[in-house]
Amino acid sequence: MINLTNVQYSYKKRKVLDVKELIINDGEKIAIMGLNGSGKTTLVELILNLRSKYEGIFKCDTDYIYNAVFQESSFHADISIKDIFYLYCKLYKIERNHDEYFKNFQLLEVENNQFKKISGGQQQKFKFLIALINDPNFLVLDEISTSLDYEWRVKIIDIIYEYVFQNKNITLLLVSHNPEEIAKICERILILKKDKLFKTLNYLVTMKIK
């Protein structure tokens, strides 16, 4: 379980996040919504321990295996995506065969290409693929369907759904503006507004709001 109490984060003396109280229980599937600049990415980076200079109390009572897909993340190495895959396997100290993963994500035909030389949709699929290889039980997905065509937006939603509900104990934070993703995958919605946690809503309740 994760508990944030009176957590504030400032960047160059400008407050970009202000959370009075937030509890994330193990196994929850939560959507995070808000306009650009509302603090969504800052919140998930803090939860992932990527930001440390904050005020307030941050507690994590579970030994999570984290992974994440960020909207702006990339791979700049001048090596193939297949080599990047095996590099991450070494970093995680795991053994995986890229064929199965690349086949499922329709990336076999570009396995020898550099990340920067594959399409935006292929890049997004590859980032998601990498996020799954260490079998995380805490997964953050930031605008996962960006750059994907309609067919793969639907497929990605189905893959996420299958993964998180086959692994009931996985905790998911989904930063999204896509109502289809949220409706199928998430149970609760956090709404951020002007750096503050504005509302926390059960999805069924949210659907009634006009």
What are the structural domain ranges in the chain?
1-65+136-144+172-210, 66-133
What is the band of 201 on the pLDDT scale with cuts at 50, 70, 90? low
Across 106-121, average pLDDT? 93
Is the alpha carbon torsion for 28, 29, 30, 36 positive or negative?
Answer: positive
* pTM for this prediction: 0.85
CATH topology (fold) of 1-65+136-144+172-210: Rossmann fold (3.40.50)
Residue 208 has pLDDT above 70, yes or no: no
What is the band of 79 on the pLDDT scale with cuts at 50, 70, 90? very high
DSSP, collapsed to helix, strand or coil, labels residue 158 as: helix
Which carries the bigger pLDDT value, residue 194 or residue 32? 32
Mean pLDDT of the chain: 87
Place of tokens 């292929």: 122
pLDDT per residue as tens digits for the range 22-39 = 999 999 999 999 888 888
Q: Greatest CA span in the chain, whole angstroms?
A: 49
Classify each residue of 169-194 as buried b or exposed e, where b means 16 or more C-beta atoms within 10 Å of its C-beta.
ebbbbbbbebeebbeebbebbbbbee
Crossing angle (nearest 10°) for helices 81-92 and 120-132 = 20
Q: What is the pLDDT of residue 203?
A: 53
What is the band of 205 on the pLDDT scale with cuts at 50, 70, 90? very low
